Chain A
């Protein structure tokens, strides 16, 4: 059981900044995120896009913002459960909550901060009628353990970075890698595209374009996929391509998911909160901050998430330390004492006589 003061669900910018604000109040945080890396949308959807409305940053790349937030909060030693989705919440007799992930990891905290953005990122499944019958029987939407593809015949579908990158990686692991895409053009980093070109020329990747997978063949386990090559010029060609694994990589899309069943008031796919006070939900001790919440006049902006996180932490302090006195301190005055023993503070003013 992982124990902490504030359990944050979602490691995007709002969740990461919560760690910093909580740390100033000597509250420890742990974050859960369905993605394998922190940053949320900033790392998953648009890492290389510049953001222009972060106060004090005329321009910052989404990925750099994530790195800065991690750097800013690191002395408060946040814990991470990454690649797992928060599944259930159970209130305990002592008033704390236990949150369990889809992999069974349990977390306990007196305060829960849902900073889940638009929800947890789920793979987008291609529209193949029998695909669900073969999930985990040869069809995988996310590559968790590349070793299972060793010496196997693998078909990858998709036209983005993950399809390119995994084709490159698995070309050294699998016995055969076929990459199938609806167009001849790929949307990815130039070096990935060039690398795939090089591997194709060497015969290490079989490229099948423009084509798509229209069916899956197998009895119990996957035996092959139905490939339809069509270029709007020639007659469509449809055939079975034998394989051991089919990995469709069509990106991820966020879904509110299990949080929708936690008994929280939901409106417009977001969690209703008390914005006049502390961003608490209808369940005392459970807060919702950032894009995941809604209230009159809500704006889904990173900067609004930062503000909401700050006020929420003050409320969390009162729940965790009932009756204990505190006044907000400025970091310019008090500096920052990290949980790792480090201290940051303003240099002392020089007092020297001028003669």
Chain B
């Protein structure tokens, strides 16, 4: 269990979930949300995690140092709706030890 990290996720209805995410299964934040079914299937991770649909957009509310945004994520977010300064695509945030205590909120479906 020492590999798991604690993540706080606010779903699209405003409900707060404290979840444990494994760090050794190459999971990203979008997949953590799906594994806990915090958003209905078919409304998140539509492209499968290729940064090509923005259905996993979330707002990062904690001050964690996140992996730098790549061009494709930045481009996708520039076409997405409800984008804020702290928007990221969940599929581009890998679960690592550094993510312990991460706090995110799922952006509305669009």
Most A C-beta atoms less than 10 A away, residue of B41, B47, B72, B74 = B41
Q: Is the CB of A126 within 8 A of B42?
A: no
Q: Is the CB of A46 within 8 A of B52?
A: yes
| List of B residues within 8 angstroms of A45 by Cβ | 46-47, 50, 52-53
Interface size bracket, A side: 20 to 34
B79 touches which one: A187, A268, A270 (CB < 8 A)?
Answer: A187
Query: Would you list which residues of chain B between 13 and 72 have a CB under 8 Å from chain A?
Result: 40-43, 46-48, 50, 52-53, 55, 71-72
Q: Is the CB of B50 within 8 A of A127?
A: no
Given A46-B52, A124-B110, A253-B46, the answer on whether A269 and B78 have CB atoms closer than 8 Å is no
Interface size bracket, B side: 20 to 34
Given A45-B47, A46-B50, A251-B53, the answer on whether A182 and B42 have CB atoms closer than 8 Å is no
Given A119-B42, A253-B110, A268-B42, the answer on whether A181 and B53 have CB atoms closer than 8 Å is no
State whether the Cβ of A183 lies closer than 8 Å to any Cβ in chain B: yes
Q: Is the CB of A160 within 8 A of B79?
A: yes
Closest to A181 in B: B78
Helix, strand, loop or mixed for chain A's interface? loop
| List of A residues within 8 angstroms of B72 by Cβ | 187
Q: Is the CB of A254 within 8 A of B42?
A: yes
Given A124-B110, A268-B41, the answer on whether A253 and B75 have CB atoms closer than 8 Å is no
Min CB gap B69→A, angstroms: 12
State whether the Cβ of B76 lies closer than 8 Å to any Cβ in chain A: yes
Q: Is the CB of B79 within 8 A of A127?
A: no
State whether the Cβ of A114 lies closer than 8 Å to any Cβ in chain B: no
Min CB gap A35→B, angstroms: 15
State whether the Cβ of A339 lies closer than 8 Å to any Cβ in chain B: no
| List of A residues within 8 angstroms of B71 by Cβ | 185, 187
State whether the Cβ of A158 lies closer than 8 Å to any Cβ in chain B: yes
Q: List 22 A-B contacts (CB under 8 A).
A: A45-B50, A46-B50, A119-B42, A126-B81, A127-B81, A127-B110, A158-B79, A160-B75, A181-B78, A182-B79, A183-B75, A185-B71, A185-B74, A187-B75, A253-B46, A253-B53, A253-B55, A253-B110, A268-B41, A268-B42, A269-B40, A270-B41
Residues of B within 8 A of A (CB): 40-43, 46-48, 50, 52-53, 55, 71-72, 74-76, 78-79, 81-82, 110
